[in-house]
Amino acid sequence: MTYTPMMQQYLSIKKQYPNEFLFFRLGDFYELFFEDAKQAASILEITLTGKDAGAKERIPMCGVPYHSATGYIETLVSKGHHVAICEQVENPKFTKGIVKREVVQVITPGTLFEGKSISSATNHYVGAALLGSPIQLAYLDVATGEAYSTSIRENHRALFAKANELNIKELVLLEQDALLVEELSELYDVHLTIHTPDELSGYSDLSHEASKLLLSYLHATQKRTLTHLQTFQHYEETAFLSIDSASKRNLELVQSIRSGDQKGTLAWLLDETKTAMGSRKLKQWVHQPLANQAGIEKRLDKVEAFLDDFMVHEEVKEALTTVYDMERLLGKVSFGTLNGKDAAQLRKTLQQVPVLREILSESTNSHLQQLGHQLSDPVECRELLERAIADSPPLALKDGGVIREQFSQQLDEFRYLATNGKDWLAELEQRERELTGVKNLKIGYNRIFGYYIELTKSMVHLADEARYVRKQTLANAERFITEELKEKETMILTAQEKALVLETELFEKVRDDIKQHISVLQQLADALSELDVLQSFATCANYYQLTRPTFESDTKMEIRDGRHPVVEKMMNNHHYVANDCVLTNEKNMLLITGPNMSGKSTYMRQVAITIIMAQMGSFVPASYALLPITDKIFTRIGAADDLAGGQSTFMLEMVESKNAIVGATKNSLLLFDEIGRGTSTYDGMSLAQAMMEYIHDKIGANTLFSTHYHELTELDGQLPRLKNVHVAATEQDKKVVFQHKVKDGAADKSYGIHVAELAELPIAIIERAQQLLSDYEEQEDRQLSLFDFTATSEPKLKEHDVVVQLRKLDVMDITPLQALNLLHTLKQSVEE
């Protein structure tokens, strides 16, 4: 089968990109052919047509206009596809035969950085991992150039949980590694890409192999020098307060459990930033609070300085409102996609730097002065943009007017000729009349000869023979040209085209000059984003009445009048009941009882939120806070089944509990909300007690443990560091009233039926439940409690074989259904 030369060119390029949608540039359209066309037409909901390509039958074809292709590409990439952009790399006007075409970029889920689905307030990462012990992970934001690497010492599931947590949209793996974790990628909705690098050693300056793999992948897909990519910042998890993905979800740090968006999260509460850079930086700090006191105190000092100098704070906020997303703008500089409006935004941003420096330097506070010193002033770049870029440039270079007047004399002349050619000809005509003395001399134009000077026959003798060249003789006139007129003619007739060409060259030169300073500009962008976050913290501290925390070298914690700031904000003007939380070296485990809906979970969450805010460098929602430097936070809060992962509430509860118990140290914070409620009462109580004993005896971490098993409150006689507290509630007119106040001691009853009554269950159910409760309480009085908390010796085990089987069982490697079946079998064997 013989195809046309153009189609042969397409097939040759498509062979190199068999798994990508090939967007093949033909004039003003990107065309897709064969199977690409069929699939794209279906996904994009565009018309599938056909094309004569030399074959007997027309081949499938569809296409999209190149100027509106971004949205179509985004749709394909958002569904996990890769798109190869094949451009014409020769000017068709000057090419005989087939125009040369090449793939100039492959756009993938992790390298897409513009579109409706891309929020500039959130980092959009592409990552690479090498599975080993430990797992190496490198990731970067192609738009901003930020690059990081770390090690994960846990399992493959931890890698994907980390990818979700960091918003890594695409994970690049070697083929053998990808086969091991394909199921996990689907479970965690992380796009996997297999890449075989030509030569990892080509990046010998990098010690981290995953970083080399990632750079190799970017080199293969982006096909350009990405000068804005920063040096990979390698960090160890110990440098930050570690919060596993389950805890981040449970605490709603960046995503609401209810709505799935940012509203109602800690990041939403604290985000009073003025720039997109600041908003991204804030989320990074939410994900990774510091774990060293010196770094935390430095941030707190600067937040306090803003609070102490109200006028400087207000002036800084005002100045930041005209600071644009410098990090993404520098990414465009590197990619070569910076346009006129982008350049104007970069100029405006750089113009704000001396303003901010002056504001901060005039403060008497040394911490604010230091923030000013961190803002380097790139005078050369700013002045270049001020000289080169027009005040209000158009979006596209082809529209002209991006370069400022007087930046280039030649460009000014082209523009003048393009817009004022007739005026110039009239001026030349007048000048020539004066030089020759011929008052009826005129300048004309025709398509054959172009512009000419015409003299009547009677005036020809006055022509300046040194300058005038005879071009055409008419019956009653002679037409001449001069060197100046011929030169201007060419310029006038091609002025607009030449102006655009020259303007493009000048703009690209400006862009290349800026590119030489990218490293310095990125440091400035980082300083601006940090300044923005710190002022945001000060705004929140003032608005939400937050307090500066202090820190202890041991594990003691004292929070007075603590509040959950997000819940408080969501309550609008309703009064929030503040509570203390005091943990000492002698009593660092709280067992919290009280009715459902009374606020136990909120109380536990607010303690974790307070620690996270403090170690971010923010003031905290309390009248006083003395806190330890916490290394890890683990939570088991919430009861949503992991249906996608095939895990029931109880199994998820056990997995998260296991992660906490295995990972925690004495410097950690553990929050357990009603452990064991997903199984039978006695099973639940047994597990809860065993876990509390283990944490108390083996780990020693600060722990908040809520329960509806009131029998467990007897443990305070057995575990010296355990203290009972309860969330108070009272009965009024046979109805429960929640006081939301945490008090010492255990709750005297659960009020479960009262809560059901508040939920407006049918009255018949409520009355029947009260009758049954009375019956059960009478029976319980006549029976020995299952647990003898005062016993000094372990209970005797009669069913030896059952115990042996249970000890062999790995509860982390069994499904809920298998567990139930096994439990049923064991129970039957005991009863026989």
Over residues 452-480, the pLDDT tens digits come to 999 999 999 998 888 999 999 999 999 99
Does pLDDT of 69 surpass 80? yes
CA 143 to chain centre: 11
Least confident of 14-28, 377-391, 752-766: 752-766
Q: How confident is the model at residue 754 (pLDDT cuts 50, 70, 90)?
A: low
pLDDT at 782: 47
Of 303, 339, 277, the residue nearest 121 (C-alpha): 277
- pLDDT tens for each residue of 95-107: 778 899 999 999 9
- pLDDT tens for each residue of 526-561: 999 999 999 999 999 999 999 999 998 889 999 999
- Arithmetic mean of pLDDT, 769-776: 65
Beta-carbon contacts of residue 485 (< 8 Å; ≥ 6 apart)? 428, 443, 451, 452, 453
Sign of torsion over alpha carbons 305, 307, 310, 316: positive
Q: How many CB atoms lie under 10 A from the CB of residue 736?
A: 20
Burial 298-334 (b: 16+ CB within 10 A, else e): ebbbbbbbbbebeebbebbbebbeebbbbbbbbbbbb
Q: Are 352 and 323 in contact (CB under 8 A)?
A: yes
DSSP state of 813: G
Q: How confident is the model at residue 492 (pLDDT cuts 50, 70, 90)?
A: confident
Does pLDDT of 797 surpass 50? no
Q: How confident is the model at residue 504 (pLDDT cuts 50, 70, 90)?
A: very high
Does pLDDT of 807 surpass 60? yes
Q: How far apart are the C-alpha atoms of 159 and 631, rounded to whole Å?
A: 20
Structure tokens at 306: 């803003």
- Arithmetic mean of pLDDT, 742-765: 70
Q: Which of 26-40, 713-727, 792-806 has the highest mean pLDDT?
A: 26-40
CA 197 to chain centre: 27
Cis peptide before 134 (omega within 30 of 0): yes
Q: How far apart are the C-alpha atoms of 64 and 48, rounded to whole Å?
A: 11
Q: Are 33 and 59 in contact (CB under 8 A)?
A: yes
CA 712 to chain centre: 43
φ, ψ of residue 736 in degrees (nearest 5): -85, 140
- Side-chain half-sphere exposure of 624, counting CA atoms within 13 A: 7
pLDDT at 804: 64
Q: How far apart are the C-alpha atoms of 95 and 9, rounded to whole Å?
A: 15
pLDDT at 811: 59
Structure tokens at 693: 């004993």
149: helix, coil or strand?
Answer: strand
Structure tokens at 433: 């009349």
Of 498, 497, 461, 495, the residue nearest 480 (C-alpha): 461
- Arithmetic mean of pLDDT, 685-689: 82
- Arithmetic mean of pLDDT, 677-701: 81
CA 46 to chain centre: 31
Does pLDDT of 451 surpass 60? yes
Structure tokens at 276: 């997109």
Does pLDDT of 639 surpass 70? no
Q: How far apart are the C-alpha atoms of 458 and 682, rounded to whole Å?
A: 124
Find the length of the chain.
832
Does pLDDT of 283 surpass 70? yes
Structure tokens at 518: 């990218």
- Arithmetic mean of pLDDT, 289-312: 97
Mean pLDDT of the chain: 86
Does pLDDT of 831 surpass 70? no
Structure tokens at 471: 């071009």
- pLDDT tens for each residue of 595-631: 777 788 999 999 999 999 999 999 999 999 999 999 9
730: helix, coil or strand?
Answer: strand
pLDDT at 767: 65
Q: Which helix (H) or strand (E) holds 754?
A: helix 752-758
- Arithmetic mean of pLDDT, 27-36: 95
| Percent of the chain at pLDDT exceeding 90 | 58
pLDDT at 761: 67
CA angle in degrees (0–180, nearest 5) for 636-816-704: 15
